[in-house]
Amino acid sequence: MTDLSTATTPTHVGHSQLANAIRFLSLDAVEAANSGHPGLPMGMADIATVLWGKFLKFDPARPDWPDRDRFVLSAGHGSMLLYAVNWLTGYKRVGLDELKRFRQLHSLTPGHPEHDVLAGVETTTGPLGQGIATAVGMALAERILNARFGDELVDHRTWVIASDGDLMEGVSHEACSIAGHLGLKRLIVLYDDNGISIDGPTSLSFSDDTANRFRSYGWNVATVDGHDPEEIENALASAMNADKPTLIACRTIIGYGSPNRAGTSEAHSNAFGAAELAATREKLDWPHGPFVIPDQIVDAWRSFGVRGRDASAAWSKQHEQHRQRAAFDQAIAGDVRGLDALIQQYKTKVASEKPKIATRQASGQVLELLSPSMPEMIGGSADLTPSNNTRVKNSGAIEAGNFNGRYVHWGVREHGMAAAMNGMALHGGVIPYGGTFLSFADYCRPAIRLAALMKQRSIFVMTHDSIGLGEDGPTHQPVEHIASLRAMPNLLVLRPCDAVETAEAWQLALTRTDGPSLLALTRQAVPHARTDAGAENLTARGAYKLAAATADERVTLLATGSEIGIALDAKRELENAGIGTSVVSMPCWSLFEKQSEAYRRSLLPANTLKVAIEAGVRMGWDRWIGPDGIFIGMEGFGESAPYAQLYERFGITTAAVTGAVRARL
């Protein structure tokens, strides 16, 4: 192996020693935890050493430097590589103690890298394919911000280490295809081509010619010996100048250095045990004890961080004097100034005009209003733009070589879109929203979950939210989706009933900075419900009394979205028959759960008959209607027919509500 580190490191520490520091920190940590994945850190240590040593733009003292390079360990099971490098390069928070507490409760070094646990972890990874797809969004955000603010403020790269598994996952196809289409030349993927997966050699299940696959996406592709630092350095240098995204296939040996496990699936996971650990120490000529890294090796690693410190300081000077500084800072801060006034303007207008429109149409109107003054908002759709109403008039499309647009045509790539949106949100400076049909939320679910886990402001615009979709039939009609999404922690599921609630839902989604939101919107027109449109965002309460009982309240109707119209009609009929009835609109359960018990009781008094009406499954409604409540909704999949007939067919009608109430009272 060539020693290329002598020039950059003061103490003439060789490349191998630098790389072996990663290897043994990883091995020792896995051994201490008796759990984890040593194979990848050992195999990719040489790559990481060259990357951090010579290329990556980072400042350990300033992990939130906006113009830093982003590094994504898509193969998140190799987390110890990241933690080892994090400590070696001198990030403040992680100490050796934390490495020793790898995979222990409340440590900073969890089993897979978690964005909100440790600085320097740009995204949470582990579920394969997510990292590389998220990185596409980061690389896209960089180009968008570069187009807006120029090279002086935005000029960085996104680096990814991806495994065979990442590239087998379907989402890698979606993400890498759009990355090629958009010519995201600042994206460089280091593919750990080690030929091993958990079941055994990848030849058990995998024969892709990955280089040609990526060429077919319009990528630049190179192949290197992943243990030859000179080859690696040359390939990375070439990739820095490519005019396309680059895949570097790194032929590596998993568990490199282990006499008996290297090159086998045995090396992938689990502790090696004392004997093999000792043998590996001997083989790699590493006489140091567990977690012992000689000072001069640490110093050499720390010197890489110094390079970043200088770059970061130089950037700050440019930033300080930049004419767009204020706008840039606002974008990075993610503020949504001016939002409230615009929302109020819209609410007042529609509360007076009472339009009977689909909530997807109302959503489009809100976006038209907000978009001009909120340049951070970047829209998109997975090839359902005319249906999702996500594209604002006069907003240009983002395309290869022109990142001045505000709209991404994601193609039929729901999962890739959602994951890339997460990357955009993580990168900062942009607020991504993207549309598809609610039924296809299933396609994006792994990425939606990561947004929730990472507390990122990804905004999912999911239209055609029930059997109200009509003729397209059961494959396209969400039935269980709203329930299944409500079950996900930290996802705000919003199902507004009219234009006012739709505006409020957008207000919540945009102001929320600790997690994603999902708007479930109708295809069909719905009657306007909210005539009261004061400054308070009632949707923020999760549920509120939309219409009070005019007589003694005996019945409480609970509904969301398109079924609010049915509830209001039923209330009218019941009250005509002398049965005092209130209507509670429940656009967001999770927000309602957070209200005081007194408030919740005020909406759901103990002694009334509760009737829930929702064109979805019952799951979860029992919490609100109690054991004596009535649920009017779906019991199974939908059918293909005009939507009004489907509401009749499935008995989600005013007559069904009033009939059920009368039968009970």
Stretch 603-622 residues interacting with a copy of itself (CB under 8 A): 617-620, 622
Q: Which amino acid is at 534?
A: G
Which sign, positive or negative, has the C-alpha torsion 566, 572, 577, 579?
A: positive
Q: What is the number of other CB atoms lying within 10 angstroms of the CB of residue 480? A: 14
Quote the Cα angle for 118-277-198, to 5°: 65
Q: Which of residues 302-361 bind a copy of itself (CB under 8 A)?
A: none
Does 198 interact with a copy of itself (rule: CB under 8 A)? yes
Q: For residue 84, what are the contacts with CB-CB under 8 A and spacing of at least 6?
A: 21, 22, 25, 26, 29, 41, 99
Judged by CB under 8 A, which of 254, 331, 351, 453 binds a copy of itself? 453
Kind and range of the H or E element at 103? none
Residue with Cβ nearer a copy of itself (71 or 304): 71
Separation between Cα atoms, residue 229 and residue 374, nearest integer Å: 46
In whole angstroms, the minimum distance from the beta carbon of 43 to a copy of itself comes to 17
Residues 621-640 that bind a copy of itself (CB under 8 A): 622-623, 626-627, 634-637, 639-640
- Catalytic site residue 142? no
Three-class secondary structure of residue 354 per DSSP: coil
What's the DSSP call for residue 101?
T
The answer to whether the annotation marks 268 as part of a ligand binding site is: yes
Mark residues 261-300: x for contact with a copy of itself by CB under 8 A, - for none. ----------------------------------------
Residue 418 interacts with a copy of itself (CB under 8 A): yes or no: no
- The token pair at 200 is 């055994």
Is 165 marked as binding a ligand? yes
- Residue list 166-185, contact with a copy of itself (CB under 8 A): 166, 168-174, 177-178, 180-181
Q: What is the largest CA-CA distance in the chain?
A: 91
CB of 473 to a copy of itself, least distance (A): 4
Out of 7, 207, 274, 576, which residue is the one contacting a copy of itself (CB under 8 A)?
A: 207
What token pair was written down for 524?
């069909």
Select from 276-284, 404-412, 492-500, 575-583 the region that touches a copy of itself (CB under 8 A).
404-412
Closest contact distance (angstroms) between CB of 244 and a copy of itself is 11
**Contact status: 103 vs a copy of itself (CB under 8 A):** yes
Q: Is 111 in the site for a copy of itself (CB under 8 A)?
A: yes
* Residue 642 interacting with a copy of itself (CB under 8 A): yes
260 is in an annotated binding site: no
| Inter-CA distances, 5 with 17, 230, 297, 298, 303, Å | 10, 10, 11, 14, 11
128 is in an annotated binding site: yes
State how far the alpha carbon of 199 is from the alpha carbons of 126, 192, 491, 563, in Å. 18, 17, 34, 49
Coarse DSSP helix, strand, coil percentages of the chain, rounded to the nearest 5 percent: 45, 15, 40
Q: Which of 480, 479, 522, 472 lies closest to 640, judged by CA? A: 472
127 labeled part of a ligand binding site: yes
385 is a contact residue toward a copy of itself (CB under 8 A): yes
Instruction: Determine which residue in the list 110, 137, 245, 429 makes contact with a copy of itself, applying CB under 8 A.
Output: 110
Q: Using CB under 8 A, which of 649, 655, 662, 664 touches a copy of itself?
A: 649
Helix (H, G, I), strand (E, B) or coil at 506: helix
Rounded to whole angstroms, how far apart are CA atoms 644 and 469?
A: 10
Nearest CB to a copy of itself, comparing residues 382 and 510: 382
Among positive and negative, which fits the CA dihedral 106, 110, 114, 118? positive
Q: Cβ–Cβ contacts within 10 Å for residue 386, how many?
A: 9
| Residues near a copy of itself (CB under 8 A), total | 114
| Candidates 266, 414, 501, 504; catalytic one | 414
Q: Report the sign of the C-alpha dihedral through residues 72, 76, 81, 87, in that order.
A: positive
Q: Which stretch binds a copy of itself (CB under 8 A): 5-13, 60-68, 162-170, 353-361?
A: 162-170
Q: Is 490 in the site for a copy of itself (CB under 8 A)?
A: yes
Q: Binding site for thiamine diphosphate, residues?
A: 77, 126-128, 165, 194, 268, 440
Q: Binding site, residues?
A: 37, 77, 126-128, 164-165, 194, 196, 268, 360, 387, 440, 464, 472, 476, 523
Catalytic residue set: 414
